[in-house]
Amino acid sequence: MSNELPDLLRLFSEELGYKVRRIKSVLGYDVFSIDLSSWKLRLTSSTPVIWVKRDDLESGSPRHMMDSIADVIRELNLSRKIVLVTVDGDALTHYRTRTHLVHSLVLIGAEEQKRVLSSRRPTGELLDIISGQIPIANLSPYETRAPVTGSRFFGREYEITRILSNPDTNHAVLGIRRIGKTSLLREIERILKEEQDPAHVVYLECSDLLSSDDYIREVVRKLNPRELPRLHMQKYVFFFPDFLERMSRAHKNKLIFLLDEIDNLVIVQRGDWDLIRMLRASANKGACQYIMAGFREAMREQYMLDSPFYNFAQEIRLSEFTRQQARELITIPMENLRVRIRNKDEVVNRIFEETAGHPNLIQYYCLILLRRLDQMGEREITPDSLIDVYSDEGFKSHLLTSFMQNTENREKALVYAILQCCEDISGQGFTQEFIDDSLRSGGIALPQDDIDEACNVLLLAGVLRRKNQEFYFTSPVFTRVLQQTYDLNYLFRKVMDEGI
């Protein structure tokens, strides 16, 4: 592979300071990567660029060339990425034969390259070319199904600083389902690995590790698999603490463990806590730092003074986005996608209120808006566009699924009882006495402590908020969708049958 760069990449690398790397030559094409993560779109820190030279164009038909590009993409496993192709000639005929790559391939022909090179706003010009070829919903950073990091990670500045600037403290990131625990852990992992030698940073998803043995085996496998056979020969209480200290010495660094989904581990540890005691000892000796994430079970332990979990880690409670964070998540990608938002404050406030600031719902909301723009070929959002979202089946079901995942039967019963007693509750406050009366009219009498605990979970889950003595439903859309979609009387009886 020669040292040459396509003109476009030379401009971005040498004059504009973008990070460009050569990857390799595949099927005769030079392949590069460029870091476009600062655009805060789906384009990552290693956006691939394939260089099609004049000679390549002359050697076959447009169809053949596209087949061959498709092979390069397959070979380098890039099918889930947006791929840029600089073509030193006419790209239009090739553009028409993009076929199945139509949602992920951007062809930048000689004409277009010239336009970027001679522009006084080359970044903007390139972005225009990209957003002209890829549906903006695909180009946007919005992701509703998987954890997000890097260019797609927003907000949480306070939590990140707190964790990174306290390397001698263990942290427990606690929060409801889909609030962003994994994303935060993965983002911290990414930053740590970028700053330091990556070998001593270990991310473990713990939901399937159902015993101390499982946990220890997984850690040994990640840090030094050659020692796995020793696990059978030595009792782990002797082997494991020594292993962690040796590994930390070998890396000349504290080992940093990011333990996601620790709830199951907490459940199996209850009663003997051997493993947790061992982790705590390794942290006290300075060999390890633990950053954990969990939901109900981990939270329960944090409140119990006699639990070994208590005092092991400092709690970081992950809650909904602030209005400002929501604003960034909504407006930055939209601006980069050249989508105009009319009455920006009103649009942001409405989305913030209707989603109660829940990052996943905001993302879902924005994605629906962008899909609509793609369908209509429009590039403007107004307060009127927002109304459509209520009727979107996907949004409704997403909203309801979040509620179902975050609550247990008792909390559900409480919500159904209140909504049954009051047709239009939006904006109205209600007391615990009202909640108690609603439950009683459904035939349940709960002790005060139970009502209190259920209210706390609902506050935490962002379903309710509290002002002095009164509670309010956070999102008017949520209550309306629940009332319109379900027979609440039936749901109430159902959770009663299942047991509360």
Ligand X SMILES: Nc1ncnc2c1ncn2[C@@H]1O[C@H](COP(=O)(O)OP(=O)(O)OP(=O)(O)O)[C@@H](O)[C@H]1O
Q: Which residues bind ligand X (CB under 6 A)?
A: 143-148, 153-156, 175, 177-183, 329, 359-360, 363
Angle formed by the axes of helices 212-223 and 274-284, nearest 10°: 40
* Nearest residue (CB) to Mg ion, 131 versus 363: 363
Tell me the closest approach of the beta carbon of residue 206 to Mg ion, in angstroms.
11
* Nearest residue (CB) to ligand X, 382 versus 397: 397
* Nearest residue (CB) to Mg ion, 181 versus 410: 181
Tell me the closest approach of the beta carbon of residue 245 to ligand X, in angstroms.
31
Question: 81-100: which residues touch Mg ion (CB under 5 A)?
Answer: none
The entry of ligand X, Mg ion, none that residue 357 binds, CB within 5 to 8 Å by partner kind: none
The entry of Mg ion, ligand X, none that residue 212 binds, CB within 5 to 8 Å by partner kind: none
- Give me the DSSP letters along 190-247: HHHHHHS-GGGEEEEE-TT--SHHHHHHHHHHHH-GGGTTHHHHS-HHHHHHHHHHHH
Tell me the closest approach of the beta carbon of residue 293 to Mg ion, in angstroms.
7
Q: How many CB atoms lie within 10 A of CB 277?
A: 14
* Nearest residue (CB) to ligand X, 107 versus 361: 361
Are 417 and 439 in contact by the 8 Å Cβ rule? The answer is yes
Q: How many CB atoms lie within 10 A of CB 495?
A: 21
The entry of ligand X, Mg ion, none that residue 363 binds, CB within 5 to 8 Å by partner kind: ligand X
Rule CB under 5 A: is residue 140 a binding residue for Mg ion?
no
What is the size of the binding site for Mg ion (CB under 5 A)? 2
Q: What own/partner pairs with CB < 8 Å and gap ≥ 24 does 371-374 have?
A: 371/137, 373/136, 373/137, 373/339, 374/135, 374/136, 374/137
Are 82 and 138 in contact by the 8 Å Cβ rule? The answer is yes
Distances in Å between the alpha carbon of 409 and those of 152, 236, 435, 460, 498? 34, 39, 15, 16, 8
The entry of ligand X, Mg ion, none that residue 371 binds, CB within 5 to 8 Å by partner kind: none
The entry of ligand X, Mg ion, none that residue 178 binds, CB within 5 to 8 Å by partner kind: ligand X
Rule CB under 5 A: is residue 182 a binding residue for Mg ion?
yes
Tell me the closest approach of the beta carbon of residue 185 to Mg ion, in angstroms.
8
Tell me the closest approach of the beta carbon of residue 159 to ligand X, in angstroms.
9
* Nearest residue (CB) to ligand X, 154 versus 240: 154
| Alpha-carbon gap, residue 322 to 24, rounded angstroms | 43
Q: Which residue's Cβ has the minimum distance to Mg ion? A: 182
The entry of Mg ion, ligand X, none that residue 153 binds, CB within 5 to 8 Å by partner kind: ligand X
| Alpha-carbon gap, residue 375 to 216, rounded angstroms | 51
The entry of ligand X, Mg ion, none that residue 143 binds, CB within 5 to 8 Å by partner kind: ligand X
Helix residue ranges per DSSP H, 96-180: 110-117, 122-133, 136-139, 157-164
* Nearest residue (CB) to ligand X, 86 versus 360: 360
The entry of ligand X, Mg ion, none that residue 62 binds, CB within 5 to 8 Å by partner kind: none
* Nearest residue (CB) to ligand X, 280 versus 396: 396
Tell me the closest approach of the beta carbon of residue 323 to ligand X, in angstroms.
15
Q: Kind of pairing, strands 314-317 and 171-174?
A: parallel
The entry of Mg ion, ligand X, none that residue 156 binds, CB within 5 to 8 Å by partner kind: ligand X
Which H helix or E strand runs over 374?
helix 359-376
Rule CB under 5 A: is residue 144 a binding residue for Mg ion?
no
Tell me the closest approach of the beta carbon of residue 358 to ligand X, in angstroms.
8
* Nearest residue (CB) to ligand X, 183 versus 248: 183
Rule CB under 5 A: is residue 360 a binding residue for Mg ion?
no
Of 225, 221, 223, 165, nearest to 195 (Cα)? 165
Tell me the closest approach of the beta carbon of residue 368 to ligand X, in angstroms.
13
Beta bridge partners of 291: 171, 258
* Nearest residue (CB) to ligand X, 140 versus 182: 182
* Nearest residue (CB) to ligand X, 6 versus 155: 155
* Nearest residue (CB) to Mg ion, 267 versus 425: 267
Task: Evaluate the CA torsion angle 114, 117, 118, 120 in order and state its sign.
Answer: positive
The entry of ligand X, Mg ion, none that residue 183 binds, CB within 5 to 8 Å by partner kind: ligand X
Tell me the closest approach of the beta carbon of residue 147 to Mg ion, in angstroms.
6
Of 422, 377, 398, 406, nearest to 481 (Cα)? 398
Task: Evaluate the CA torsion angle 311, 314, 318, 323 in order and state its sign.
Answer: positive
Tell me the closest approach of the beta carbon of residue 422 to Mg ion, in angstroms.
34
Distances in Å between the alpha carbon of 66 and those of 91, 276, 423? 11, 55, 59
Q: Which residue's Cβ has the minimum distance to ligand X? A: 180
Which H helix or E strand runs over 85?
strand 83-87
The answer for residues whose C-beta is within 8 angstroms of residue 17's C-beta and 6 or more apart is none
| Alpha-carbon gap, residue 170 to 196, rounded angstroms | 19
Binding segment for Mg ion (CB under 5 A), chosen from 105-113, 180-188, 347-355, 422-430, is: 180-188
SS3 52: strand
Tell me the closest approach of the beta carbon of residue 262 to Mg ion, in angstroms.
11
Q: Kind of pairing, strands 201-205 and 255-260?
A: parallel
Query: Which residues bind to Mg ion, rule: CB under 5 A?
Result: 181-182
